[in-house]
Amino acid sequence: MGSHTPSGPAWSALQSRHQRRGPQTLTETVSGRVLVLNATFEPINVCSIRRAIVLLLKQKAEVVERGSWELHSESTSITRPVVIRLVSYVHVPRTAQRRKITRRAVFARDGWTCQYCGSRSNLTVDHVIPRSKGGSSSWENIVASCAPCNRRKGDRLPLQAGMQPLRPPKAPRAEIFIAVSSPSIPAAWLQYLSQAA
């Protein structure tokens, strides 16, 4: 789902005729995040409210969970989407190999815990097999590590350092990326994320 800024008469009408409920402004309410489910109700992505509205206007998605306010035009009324479901099934690769490796995603996958000592503070990432020893920058070779463990292990192999990860690193499940893409997880998302676990 690439980013797309809505335009055209339908979006303009929705913007100009927006009726607020509560203290939020239009800018604040259209800048939130929406959970995107596949046609099978499997969570596959998070998108902006703007992108969700485009999908709804094009009838490529339907609202599953609604917010507390609406956008109105003369001919259209759209509830604030919180969770939407694609009408047609989209094939999503089962592996996260192609997903970008970020520190936050590694930390989330590893439970925000150093994979050598269990510490939860001063986290960084470590290549289990150092790159200088032929290690790759892949999900299977990167773990969360506290800075002291990272320094202690240095440029050595796990056997040389006597430091094995607590869990073998592997590509994370899709919901990890959903969790790190939003600063907080809305309650309405939880039932769909727990089904994917």
Name every residue whose Cβ is closer than 8 Å to that of residue 82 and which is 6 or more positions away in sequence: 34, 35, 65, 66, 67, 186, 188, 189
DSSP for 129-168? S-GGGT--SSGGGEEEEEHHHHHHHTT--HHHHT---SS-
Name every residue whose Cβ is closer than 8 Å to that of residue 96 and which is 6 or more positions away in sequence: 139, 171, 172, 173, 174, 176, 177
* CA gap 137, 64 in Å, rounded: 38
| Per-residue pLDDT tens digits for 101-144 | 889 889 988 989 999 999 999 999 999 999 999 999 999 999 99
Helix axes 49-57, 9-16, angle to 10 degrees: 130
Q: Where are the domains of the chain?
A: 9-93+174-196, 103-161
Beta bridge partners of 145: 124
The pLDDT-based confidence of 18 (bands split at 50, 70, 90) is very low
CA nearest to 111, candidates 180, 57, 65, 54: 180
Q: Which two tokens stand for residue 76?
A: 């259209």
For the residues 63-91, what does the mean pLDDT come to? 85
More confident residue, 177 or 11: 177
Alpha-carbon dihedral angle through residues 82, 88, 91, 96, given to the nearest 10 degrees: 0
- As a whole number of Å, the end-to-end CA separation of the chain is 22
pLDDT score of 81: 92
| Per-residue pLDDT tens digits for 153-170 | 999 999 999 999 999 999
* CA gap 109, 162 in Å, rounded: 23
The CATH code that applies to domain 103-161 is 1.10.30.50
In the predicted structure, residue 66 carries a pLDDT above the cut 50? yes
pLDDT score of 104: 87
Q: CA 119, 120, 124, 127 torsion: positive or negative?
A: positive
Residue 181 DSSP label: T
* CA gap 63, 91 in Å, rounded: 20
